[in-house]
Structure 1
Amino acid sequence: MLLIIACYCLLTRKPNQFPPGPKFLPIVGNINILRHIKVLKFHHLLWHHISKLYGPVVGLKFFHKYVVIVSSKEAIREVYSRDELNGRPDGFFFRVRTFERRLGVVFTDGHYWENQRRFSATTLKHLGVGKFSMAKHIENEAEELIKEFFNKAENNESFYMHSAFDISVLNLMWVLLKGERFKLSDQRLIDLVAAVHKNFQVLDMSGGILNLFPFIRYIIPELSGYKELVDTMRPIWDFLQQEIEKIEENFNPQTEPKCFIEAYLKEIQNHKGVESYFTYEQLHGICIDFIQAGSETTANSLGFAILYMLHHPKIMKKVQVELMSIVGVNTLPKLSDRPKLKYTDAVISEVQRCANIAPLGIAHRAVTDAKLDGFLIPKDSTILCNLYSLNMDEKNWKNPTEFMPERFLNDDGDLVYPDYFIPFGMGKRRCIGENVAKSSLFLFFASTMHTFTPYCIGELPSLTGIDGISLAPKPFKVLLRRRF
């Protein structure tokens, strides 16, 4: 009996100064709390519920892995700003997408990540990110999108609006990666985007059971999620393989690179024969990161933006009035108009806050034992920053569940962004494509609102999204009516 008691105490004991949380069960830890997802429907709502019970820093254990949920603005900002908490989780689940290796820039850390991020940021800047040339790409893509919408409006054609921006958003990333765009009707891109959406819905930022016990993929490949994860990644792998091979056929390392892939291939050539971080596998890994992270959240944000306008027609009308007063008739908005379109920008920010597109951001990892808010975070703990809790905190926002764009405007009508509004993250891990994402999100939304009024087909669609790494709007159809 004493031996049983001793074993029980040992298996349920928490590390000294570990954050508060539910008691550990022997062996499984807190895996039992995941059953609440059946009721709450979303992972971030489960973590929000847990934080209400135990505080802004909560400690959990899933079998042998520690997971820390962080909810307050002070603790989240501290996680984002400290190097020892700025790692990325490792394990089989996070490696599946990059050929079972630790590649890319999203799920890597240390010198490897610093080297690759520095090269990526420098190359993207050289290719025009943040400059006039990229602005022209975004404006041209918006113009092509509006032409597509014109055709549907002229034919009185209803269509699915939740995915209407997908190819346009991906085109902006593809212009940087390969130096060309696809037609909006290109079936390869339509299939690719569908795979990206599905992939984000099967991913779990905590890593799930597959990360804890990779061997179960051989026993229950379907139930473990492994088969679905690989099936959604395969179209992305195949697409990139084909496109990179096309570039290699005519690639000349002596010429100035015209796109990111050429720049990376040139770097591979420059490091040929020596040990280097620059490899073909890493090129694929970075491209996967750019395609997934660079398209998913922006496209979903635009889908939600239209959805919120359907729910708030008075706000939509105010956006359209502002656009007409600044842009005028028979012309499209330009990025140069953005400083004057303050209410439109405020609406986009409020969509990002209310829709919570990336409610948990990207998971962090403690690279060493560290203190957070007075608690000990053991090395290799997975840290989930619940941005949903931040966006819905009554201490930060008045009536947080209400859609009020005015909360981002001061008494003079100027835009204000509180330091707890961080849709693109902060610190060294801040989104590398933030500039492109903000510009495309603004211009695609403004162009659509200025040129058309969307009308719902059938019942007003729900604002509740589909769970995943990023939340996606549920499918909904609209009719567009031209405004001029």
Structure 2
Amino acid sequence: MGTALKNLDLNYVFLALVLGLIFLVLFEITRIHVSRGRTPPGPRPFPFLGTLPYFIKDPVGSARSIRQYGEMATEYLGRQPAIILNTVQITKEALVQEASTFSGRPTLPLIDWITNGLGIIMVTFGDSWRQQKRFAVNTFRYFGLGRKSVEERVLEEGRYLVGEMLKDEGVDVFPRHVIENAVSNIICSIVFGDRFEYDNKHFAHLLKILYENFTLAGSPVGQILNLVPFIKHFPGPHQKILQNSRELLGFIRKKIKEHRKTLDPENPRDFIDAYLLEIEKQHFHEDSTFHEENMVMSTSDLFLAGTNTTTTTIRWGLIFLTENPEVQERCHEEIVQVLGYDRLPSMDDRDKLPYTYATVHEIQRCANVVPFGVVHATTQPTKLRGYDIPKGTMIMTNLTAIFSDEKHWKSPDTFNPENFLDENGHFYKPEAFIAFSVGPRACLGETLARTELFLYIVSLLQRIHFSWPVNSQRPDMDGIMGAVRFPHPFKITCRSRDAKD
């Protein structure tokens, strides 16, 4: 009798669980139906998972297909709707004309886990962000950003880069590390006051874990953690993100400790020195956000932002230039006609190198390294094109759609520098080219990135011919979608050019 009652109780428990689950699913379906009636159109979400399964299955295809729903669309990241801006016009309307409303950052468990709400890039829109951004911009200007001094640093590093790539002339090589090191050395010289040799194993390891974190953050691992944040307390591949972040922050803390010992208040050497002095200066201000933990995270933000996207763009550039040898040759001929083989380029040469300058921009357009931009959030309830948008709603810019909009590009779906040339062969920039975003939260390092991209690419094309290894397989042009769209690892063959060529 007791066993029968026990089995009956278990049956009731099981039935209650099944009915409860059915109720939850029906409730979620009803909630989705109501929510979809209030938001712009978009793909049908799954209960609890939203549209993440579509993105995980085909991230690049997902970015391309969302524009079919019109200038505004809705994706669901789990249960949370995200508004996708598919045209440059509505992007500027939101991020520029209504900047204060659309300049927030959403609460993302993965980002909060590794930043503790500090830094510059992903911090919420408010006093801390304003103070940290203003200080970073002013400090960068003080140390030469936008002036000849940074240009000279890039040119000097460009010589190292060319020499390093020609070390194994004629041999098939993976170019990622040398490009990554060259790009990172510029931000390192500004932030840490030093550069790192290409054979520095510890720095190579830091660049490796930086790459890993960008890959993991946008992968299913990162997406699932944002969806189910309590898994951060359990073992799993997501723990690698935190481990890598702690290692990188440990490196920065060590640099800060070294700077503190040798600090000369009359002669600040770099960003860290300037920040240490600012902490002392702001010490008695109650509203100050300058303290050591914010310094660590802001330094990390600058290091990450100043390394990854520019490196990735140049790597994509080598792919496009090698896939389009006629473009590569035309750029080389234009460069040699203006500079010869020995004179180093400068930013003043842009007008004299219109085709090459157009090619640099076309690389950025086709590389499209951050297809949905850096995510924004609304800071207050608002309206956009008749839709009510609650406070805290995620806002994304669909650069994939904008960079292939037939209204703005002569050849939207192919690599063609003519997209940035007028009928007279002069460079011009279409309105839809917003690779660095727009509005108050546009890329902080835009000036530095533009300088590096132009000078590095010109330096490489001036001295090196790039080709695919014999019988090599071409890389998949969809790339690897993480927090950044990376190219698949590829080998390339470098051969020196000289006047005899």
TM over 0.5: yes
Q: Deviations over 1:40-67 (max 9, x none)?
A: 2x2x531432331x32212344444222
What's the offset of the Cα at 1:102?
A: 3.4
What's the offset of the Cα at 1:317?
A: 0.5
In 1, Cα distance between equivalents of 2:76 and 2:54:
16
> 1:62–1:303: structure 2 CA closer, same or farther, 3 Å change rule?
closer
What's the offset of the Cα at 1:204?
A: 3.0
Amino acid in the other structure paired with 1:21: G
In 1, Cα distance between equivalents of 2:145 and 2:420:
26
Q: Deviations over 1:291-316 (max 9, x none)?
A: 11111110111111111111001111
In 2, Cα distance between equivalents of 1:209 and 1:75:
30
1:321 aligns with 2:333: yes
Amino acid in the other structure paired with 2:258: K
What's the offset of the Cα at 1:259?
A: 0.5
Q: Give the aligned partner of residue 447 of structure 1.
A: 459
Q: 2:366·2:415 contact (CA, 8 Å) conserved in 1?
A: yes
In 2, Cα distance between equivalents of 1:60 and 1:464:
21
- The TM-score, its normalising length taken from structure 1, stands at 0.91
Alignment of 1:174-213 (within 5 A): 174-204=188-218, 208-213=223-228
In 1, Cα distance between equivalents of 2:165 and 2:29:
64
In 2, Cα distance between equivalents of 1:436 and 1:387:
21
Deviates most, 360-369 or 463-472:
463-472
Task: Flag the structure with larger Rg.
Answer: 2
Amino acid in the other structure paired with 1:233: S
In 2, Cα distance between equivalents of 1:331 and 1:6:
69
1:426 aligns with 2:453: no
Q: Deviations over 1:180-226 (max 9, x none)?
A: 2111221122111111111111123997332343212224x42xx53
Q: Give the aligned partner of residue 147 of structure 1.
A: 163
- The TM-score, its normalising length taken from structure 2, stands at 0.88
Q: 1:79·1:86 contact (CA, 8 Å) conserved in 2?
A: no
1:151 partner SS: coil
> 1:7–1:293: structure 2 CA closer, same or farther, 3 Å change rule?
closer
Amino acid in the other structure paired with 1:127: F
Q: Give the aligned partner of residue 108 of structure 1.
A: 124
What's the offset of the Cα at 1:17?
A: 3.7
Amino acid in the other structure paired with 2:376: H
Q: Give the aligned partner of residue 399 of structure 1.
A: 411
1:57 aligns with 2:75: no
What's the offset of the Cα at 1:95?
A: 1.6
Q: 1:408·1:415 contact (CA, 8 Å) conserved in 2?
A: yes
Q: 1:19·1:376 contact (CA, 8 Å) conserved in 2?
A: no
Q: Deviations over 1:367-424 (max 9, x none)?
A: 1111112212111111111111111122322331111101201122211111111111
What's the offset of the Cα at 1:436?
A: 1.1
Of 13, 21, 24, the match for 2:34: 13
Amino acid in the other structure paired with 2:84: I
Q: 1:333·1:447 contact (CA, 8 Å) conserved in 2?
A: yes
Q: 2:215·2:482 contact (CA, 8 Å) conserved in 1?
A: yes
Q: Give the aligned partner of residue 37 of structure 1.
A: 55
What's the offset of the Cα at 1:452?
A: 1.0
Of 77, 88, 93, the match for 2:92: 77
Alignment of 1:111-150 (within 5 A): 111-150=127-166
> 1:315–1:290: structure 2 CA closer, same or farther, 3 Å change rule?
same
> 1:63–1:353: structure 2 CA closer, same or farther, 3 Å change rule?
closer
Q: Give the aligned partner of residue 261 of structure 1.
A: 272
1:168 aligns with 2:182: yes
In 2, Cα distance between equivalents of 1:151 and 1:449:
16
Q: Deviations over 1:127-174 (max 9, x none)?
A: 100111111111111112122233322xx4332124431111000001
Identity %, equivalent residues:
28
Structure 2 segments unaligned to the other structure (5+ residues): 1-18
In 2, Cα distance between equivalents of 1:256 and 1:106:
31
In 2, Cα distance between equivalents of 1:271 and 1:374:
44
Deviates most, 352-361 or 10-19:
10-19
Amino acid in the other structure paired with 2:35: K
Q: Deviations over 1:10-56 (max 9, x none)?
A: 56422774222345665x1xx2532233542x2x531432331x322
Give the paired residue count: 470
Of 219, 231, 241, the match for 1:229: 241
2:466 partner SS: strand
